[in-house]
Structure 1
Amino acid sequence: MKRGFTDHDQDLHVQGVTCAASSGWTAGAARSELGLDNGDRSVSGVLSDVDLRAEDIRAGLYDGAQIDTYAVDWRNSDIFVPVSSGTLARIEMRGQDQAAFVAHVEGPAARLQRSIGRRYTPLCDAQLGDARCGLSDPVGTCDKRYATCRDVFANTLHFRGFPDLPGEDFITLYPRSGDALDGASRGGTGRL
């Protein structure tokens, strides 16, 4: 089901969807970093039984919804320009009576910033004390290095990094007289 909202003072009908003016819908500022706008933005409004209900938000009814924003000529709503598109990342209910909300919308570029799977890095990607780390009551802090896992926690069996990855200087290495060329690890930078 499509829902429409507007910050205009009257309802607008755009592409067959009635955009409610009574919602108090207002657009927040878009975030831009290094001149590359990934389209992240927020919008806010007021909950009402007609438009958006708190129960629906708590139940996750709108999670992942497609959000399209248009600039519309209020005198002739057949004249519009697409402004942005994104996916609803999360909704926060605000105010003492939880009657207002802020919806956080991710632009298309947000998908490029997500980590999918594991990263190949010499550092451990587990959190100290979690199930992947394997330590039940760790004492101290962990800097995610293999040497710390080995020397401080004696937990190398559960180290979740890749300590034998070649360092940045790997591309400049060449065989030298006296090197053992047996295929064994050179002890990548992660084991320090």
Structure 2
Amino acid sequence: MNRTWFSQPLETVATWWRIERRDGVALGFTSHDRDIIFGGLRHRTAPGMVPSAMRRSASLELDTAEISGALSHDAISEDDLVAGRFDGASITMGLVDWETLEAESLFAGTIGAVGREGAQFSAELASLKQQLFRELVPRTSPTCRAEFCGDGCTLSVAKYTHEAALSELGNGRLWIKVASADPADFCFGWLRPVDGPDAGTAFRIRATQADWLILDRPLSTGAESGMRVILKEGCDHTLSTCAQRFDNAVNFQGEPFMPGNDLLTRYPAAQ
């Protein structure tokens, strides 16, 4: 049944929005003065959060929306925003009748840039139309364009993902040691804590040095040795690594032997 919203002088309608973070946490909110349960999720009242006007078009022009509000709700804390737990999360917004629980989605997309000013936060929302602006024909590259164990790579994620425990932290929790792991295998991979304040948050491993893994940002203050983590091995996306380490050169998504742009500037040498 298609409903025409706001067709009557007085209606029992509230706005709602649902956030699904990349770590698997799903959160629901509503502008109503009490919690509403529909679609298999409790949408908690969040009077401090306000969705902006949503603009939709029938063309390929991007739909736009924004959420702003106070950092007062337990489910959205300043620490989580700073840690990037909401970056790239999928979001759906719409209307719901709080009496009949009839609901309709008006906007679907992902959370882009999240800003904070004092006790207020704001989040820009990117609609699903943004996927239409992806490059369909990939550009040439001397290194592999595929995400390691992702589309095109074909390697198994489970095979190169390991459970381990932190054995030592150093340099302001930016350097870590992991028991029973060869650091060289995890350069350019990622680490996701299972315990502690950073549970569920992914940290990129940008380099290794001796027995240390160097993260792209430090772990939180409460991180300590003995905490469980999930580690995914990394790849430097070169043909030699793909062939020698992973025996996967047949799926290499790059052109390592193609001449570069400097070929156009070369002059013939006299014999």
C-alpha contact (below 8 Å) 1:3/1:19 kept by paired residues: yes
Q: Superposition pairs for residues 57-68 of structure 1, below 5 Å? A: 57-68=81-92
* Cα separation, partners in 2 of 1:115 and 1:90, compared to 1, 3 Å: farther
Q: Superposition pairs for residues 82-93 of structure 1, below 5 Å? A: 82-93=105-116
Number of the residue aligned with 1:6: 30
Ranges in structure 2 where 5+ consecutive residues have no aligned partner: 1-24, 141-259, 266-271
* Cα separation, partners in 2 of 1:23 and 1:159, compared to 1, 3 Å: farther
Number of the residue aligned with 1:152: none
TM-score by length of 2: 0.38
Give the Cα–Cα distance (whole angstroms) in 1 for the partners of residues 128 and 84 of structure 2: 21
Task: State yes or no: 1:42 paired with 2:59.
Answer: no
Look up the SS of the partner of 1:3 in the other structure: strand
Ranges in structure 1 where 5+ consecutive residues have no aligned partner: 120-157, 164-192
Give the Cα–Cα distance (whole angstroms) in 2 for the partners of residues 60 and 112 of structure 1: 25
Task: Return the offset for 1:34.
Answer: 9.0
Q: Which amino acid aligns with 2:53?
A: A
Q: Which amino acid aligns with 1:18?
A: R
C-alpha contact (below 8 Å) 1:23/1:51 kept by paired residues: no
Task: Return the offset for 1:55.
Answer: 0.6
Once the two structures are superposed, what CA deviation does each residue of 1:48-107 show, in whole Å capped at 9, x if it has no partner?
251200110111101111101121111122x1112221011121112xx3x211111100
Give the Cα–Cα distance (whole angstroms) in 2 for the partners of residues 59 and 45 of structure 1: 18
Identity percentage of aligned residues: 28
Number of the residue aligned with 1:100: 120
Task: State yes or no: 1:54 paired with 2:54.
Answer: no
Q: Superposition pairs for residues 1-192 of structure 1, below 5 Å? A: 1-31=25-55, 36-48=60-72, 50-77=74-101, 79-94=102-117, 97=118, 99-114=119-134, 118=139
Give the Cα–Cα distance (whole angstroms) in 1 for the partners of residues 128 and 79 of structure 2: 28
C-alpha contact (below 8 Å) 1:69/1:82 kept by paired residues: yes
Greater C-alpha Rg:
1
Q: Which amino acid aligns with 2:43?
A: C
* Cα separation, partners in 2 of 1:46 and 1:20, compared to 1, 3 Å: farther
Once the two structures are superposed, what CA deviation does each residue of 1:126-185 show, in whole Å capped at 9, x if it has no partner?
xxxxxxxxxxxxxxxxxxxxxxxxxxxxxxxx978x99xxxxxxxxxxxxxxxxxxxxxx
* Cα separation, partners in 2 of 1:42 and 1:4, compared to 1, 3 Å: same
Q: Which amino acid aligns with 1:61?
A: R
Q: Which amino acid aligns with 2:116?
A: M
More strand as a share of residues: 2
Q: Which amino acid aligns with 1:93?
A: R
Q: Which amino acid aligns with 2:35?
A: D
C-alpha contact (below 8 Å) 2:114/2:121 kept by paired residues: yes
CA RMSD after TM alignment = 3.1
TM-score by length of 1: 0.52
Give the Cα–Cα distance (whole angstroms) in 2 for the partners of residues 65 and 115 of structure 1: 22
Give the Cα–Cα distance (whole angstroms) in 2 for the partners of residues 75 and 29 of structure 1: 24
* Cα separation, partners in 2 of 1:63 and 1:73, compared to 1, 3 Å: same
Give the Cα–Cα distance (whole angstroms) in 2 for the partners of residues 87 and 64 of structure 1: 6
